[in-house]
Amino acid sequence: MSDVDLLDKIPNNVDLKSDRKLKRALERWQPDFIDWWQQSGPAEYQDKDIYLRTAIDVDAEGWAQFGYTKMPDYRWGIFLATEVPGRVIPFGDQAGQPVYRDVPGEYRNVLRRIIVNQADTEPASVEQQRRLSATAPSLLDLRNLFQVNVEEGRHLWAMVYLLQRFFGKDGREEADELLRRRAGDADCPRILNAFNNPCPDWLSFFSFTMFMDRDGKFQLAALAESGFDPLARTCRFMLTEEAHHLSVGEVGMARIVRRSAELMAEHPGRDLRELGGIPLELIQKSINYWFSYSLDLFGGEISSNAADYFAAGLKGRFKEEQKETEHGALNQVKRIRVIEDGRLVDREVPLRNAMNECLRDCYIEDCERALRGWNRELEKAGAEVRLRLPERTFHRHLGEYGHAHFNPDGELISDIDFHRRQDEWFLTDADRRYLESIMKPCLEPGKIAGWIAPPVKGVDGKPFDFEYVRI
């Protein structure tokens, strides 16, 4: 069953050749995907050789192969993690029963919706990042951008496989719709709010891969627990690729911080703008923006949808199967801060209805860990300032806090106050113009732009000055 077929038109380990109907449907979708990639994928370098990693297997060892490829020739494949024999539904009302190998009729709509939501983010991110190839700070960074992009493309393939394999005509229609919506399009936008935001510069790109891809990690991890086994296995393998995206973001931000800290130490008291560096205040503004938008992606704090997903065994908690907790999540509560009479108060909510918040807690903890690392860079360079995450109530667009305004310390403030202080908390037009002015492409092997430190390591054991893209 899990034998890998790399020679098929669509590389896969799902025995595609024995399901002629499915194979035909996917092969019909393939040219539309390539058209989408050409139109809405990276705006440049489509005809250049890029040193890319391609998934070719699902074993922990040797799952990927590195080599030069032109992006439109990338071998996007369908790979599911190996089936665990005897796996049971890990949580919810049917905990302990054998996992679903097919879609239970009563959960068809919700499952389709979860999968479509997940799928939609993958091409959206590629569209959002489309223009960044014009301003890459090094060849290695350019390559990393493309690596992330092609793998988001593969994640779309993974979800489209599930839709076409398990949801018949509806699934095929959804697969077509996924290539029709566009990030930021006024008439036909992407589904989740943050996937319509522009990502115009590399400070935003590293913030995006740090914060938004990290939402991806936690959502995929929750779906990797699913009692719908094909979804669990698909997400398990996607997480293998996701680790690199997260490290591009976390390390990218650390490299910007390191460079800024270096410049501050060499030129005490100077405005980094005069030196071509990125002032910490701009880094903080980018964190404020992308972190708060990423928090929205977990959904409402109190959610009956989330309770239904959990009850049905479709979407679990982070590392649910590994935890020794009670997997029913019944007769338990979680304290959620809500707004009542213009004040924040604690309310006890049945745990199942607070599943979005449980996942958001794990996410915030992971972000805090990364922030500690960036702050160590500042400390080492002798800087006094520190970066921080705003409180979870700040700058939210949905859920309990979406209808009010808060400052980064999490205190309720008036609408007028919030709008008055925009320039203090988010990048201004002038900030953006400045970022644009320093982000000139730097594409000679071994060279790095002045606003970011070089990476400590290259890719696949290659040195930093390797020709990662043959320009």
State the residues that interact with ligand BYC by CB under 6 A: 114, 117-118, 121-122, 125, 152, 192-193, 212-213, 215-216, 219, 296-300, 303, 305-306, 315, 356, 398
Shortest Cβ 307–ligand BYC spacing (Å): 9
Q: d(Cα 339, Cα 156) in Å, to the nearest integer?
A: 38
- The tokens for 412 are 């309720």
Number of H-type helices and E-type strands within the chain:
13, 7
Shortest Cβ 336–ligand BYC spacing (Å): 12
Count residues binding Fe ion (CB under 5 A): 6
Q: d(Cα 279, Cα 281) in Å, to the nearest integer?
A: 5
138 in Cβ contact with 255 (< 8 Å): no
Q: For residue 347, which phi and psi values (nearest 5 degrees)?
A: -130, 140
For residue 315, the partner it binds in ligand BYC, Fe ion, none, with Cβ less than 5 to 8 A by kind, is ligand BYC
What residues form DSSP beta bridges with 412?
A: 406
Nearest CA to 257 among 443, 432, 383?
383
**Of residues 192 and 257, the one with the C-beta less far from ligand BYC:** 192
| Residue 25: how many other CB atoms lie within 10 Å | 21
Residue 213 interacts with Fe ion (CB under 5 A): yes or no: yes
Please choose, out of 167-175, 198-206, 240-248, 418-426, the segment that lies near Fe ion by the rule CB under 5 A: 240-248
Residue 245 interacts with Fe ion (CB under 5 A): yes or no: yes
Residues comprising the chain, all counted: 471
**Of residues 26 and 192, the one with the C-beta less far from ligand BYC:** 192
Shortest Cβ 246–ligand BYC spacing (Å): 10
**Of residues 318 and 451, the one with the C-beta less far from Fe ion:** 318
449 in Cβ contact with 277 (< 8 Å): no
Please choose, out of 42-50, 138-146, 214-222, 325-333, the segment that lies near Fe ion by the rule CB under 5 A: 214-222
* DSSP E strands, 237-313: none
Burial class (CB in 10 A: 0-12, 13-18, 19+), 346: exposed
Shortest Cβ 44–ligand BYC spacing (Å): 20
Shortest Cβ 365–ligand BYC spacing (Å): 18
CA of 215: how far to CAs of 72, 378, 448, in Å? 27, 26, 29
For residue 303, the partner it binds in ligand BYC, Fe ion, none, with Cβ less than 5 to 8 A by kind, is ligand BYC
Which amino acid type is present at position 298? F
Q: d(Cα 427, Cα 203) in Å, to the nearest integer?
A: 11
Shortest Cβ 421–Fe ion spacing (Å): 32
**Of residues 90 and 454, the one with the C-beta less far from ligand BYC:** 90
Shortest Cβ 363–ligand BYC spacing (Å): 11
For residue 204, the partner it binds in ligand BYC, Fe ion, none, with Cβ less than 5 to 8 A by kind, is none
- The tokens for 182 are 């566009």
Residue 301 exposure: Cα atoms within 13 Å on the Cβ side:
21
| First CA to last CA distance, the chain | 41
Residue 120 interacts with Fe ion (CB under 5 A): yes or no: no
For residue 165, the partner it binds in ligand BYC, Fe ion, none, with Cβ less than 5 to 8 A by kind, is none
Q: Mask: binding to Fe ion, 23-42, rule CB under 5 A, as x and -?
A: --------------------
CA of 95: how far to CAs of 82, 101, 231, 312, in Å? 21, 15, 17, 9
Q: Mask: binding to Fe ion, 152-191, rule CB under 5 A, as x and -?
A: x--x------------------------------------
**Of residues 127 and 377, the one with the C-beta less far from ligand BYC:** 127
Nearest CA to 349 among 398, 303, 316, 314?
303
Residues 51-110 that bind Fe ion (CB under 5 A): none
Shortest Cβ 122–Fe ion spacing (Å): 5
DSSP 149-205: HHHHHHHHHHHHHHHHHHSHHHHHHHHHHHTT--TT-SSS--SSGGGGS---SHHHH
Residue 112 interacts with Fe ion (CB under 5 A): yes or no: no
Shortest Cβ 245–ligand BYC spacing (Å): 7
Site for Fe ion, rule CB under 5 A: 122, 152, 155, 213, 216, 245
